[in-house]
Amino acid sequence: MGGVLSYFRSLFGQREMRILILGLDGAGKTTILYRLQVGEVVTTIPTIGFNVEQVEYKNLKFQVKFFIA
């Protein structure tokens, strides 16, 4: 029974995922995030430390965490 409910939820419900992005300064981590959120490339200032954002894209909900390495 639980499998059937999970199947219908995957078809009609919103799926949630967590993503961790690591990279060097100026690699484009924030640019990719805001491209998914806004739908276009926006000018950003350098991130200091880390950032956590919620992004909804199509039928997926992402919690994106990225760190400066």
**Tens of pLDDT along 16-49?**
889 888 888 888 888 888 888 888 888 888 888 8
Q: Per-residue confidence at 8, pLDDT binned at 50, 70, 90? A: low
- Range in 8-12, 14-18, 43-47, 65-69 the model is least confident about: 8-12
30 marked as part of a ligand binding site: yes
Tell me the CA end-to-end span of the chain in Å, nearest whole number.
Answer: 45
49 marked as part of a ligand binding site: no
Coil, strand, or helix at residue 36? helix
Determine the pLDDT at residue 31: 87
26 marked as part of a ligand binding site: yes
Determine the pLDDT at residue 12: 64
Q: Which amino acid is at 10?
A: S
